[in-house]
């Protein structure tokens, strides 16, 4: 039987931005999109989601090390209540086979409820190996999300 390590989840703080940015290089390397990593863009993206109202980053930690995170955004569009979008959801190699993914998913749903969101949306578009993609899909389904059509993409040359 696999040992499940207990992790904790909390909102990211401004002081976490540099560590999260450092870890995002691994995300780019694991993706099959073949894009060049850009640390400046990564920092802006992470920084904006920590500081902007209606956005949040929750980090999973084990032994004071960030092992995963979820980026959340509240979007008040054409309705009287906002949607919640899971923009990024990633558990690093050091956090895999732990409880981090389940705790991050639970935190995302809790955050969406606190934000009075009517729906939560997530897409499995990280460009990871099929097994890792399927684990994310299974996790989201176990968390109560259901499929509502395909995600379409086009690689621009």
Cβ count near 88 (within 10 Å)? 19
Residue 103 lies in a domain: yes
**d(C-alpha 49, C-alpha 91), whole Å:** 18
Q: What tokens does 94 get? A: 């050091």
Residue with tokens 């209540």: 81
Q: What tokens does 30 get? A: 């694991």
Residue 149 lies in a domain: no
**CATH number for position 64:** 3.40.630.30
To the question of pTM greater than 0.75 for the whole model, the response is yes
Residue 152 lies in a domain: no
Phi, psi of 139 (to 5 degrees): -60, -45
> Domain span at residue 89?
8-142
Residue 100 lies in a domain: yes
Number of domains in the chain: 1
Reported as a single tens digit per residue, the pLDDT across 98-129 is: 899 999 999 999 999 999 999 999 998 877 77
Predicted confidence (pLDDT) at residue 18 exceeds the cutoff of 70: yes
Q: Which residue has the higher pLDDT, 157 or 56?
A: 56
Q: Are 72 and 58 in contact (CB under 8 A)?
A: yes
């Amino acid at each position: 039987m696999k040992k499940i390590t207990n992790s904790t989840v909390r909102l990211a703080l401004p002081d976490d931005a540099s560590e999260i940015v450092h870890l995002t290089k691994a995300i780019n390397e694991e993706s099959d999109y073949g894009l060049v990593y850009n640390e400046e863009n990564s920092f802006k993206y992470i920084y904006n989601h920590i500081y902007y109202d209606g956005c949040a980053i929750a980090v999973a930690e084990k032994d004071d090390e960030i092992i995963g995170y979820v980026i959340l955004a509240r979007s008040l569009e054409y309705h009287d209540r906002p949607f919640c979008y899971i923009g990024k959801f990633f558990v690093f190699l050091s956090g895999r086979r732990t409880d981090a993914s389940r705790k991050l998913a639970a935190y995302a749903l809790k955050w969406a409820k606190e934000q009075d969101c009517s729906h939560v949306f997530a897409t499995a578009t990280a460009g990871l190996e099929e097994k890792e993609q399927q684990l994310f899909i299974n996790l989201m389904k176990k968390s109560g999300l259901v499929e509502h059509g395909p995600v379409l993409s086009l690689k621009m040359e």
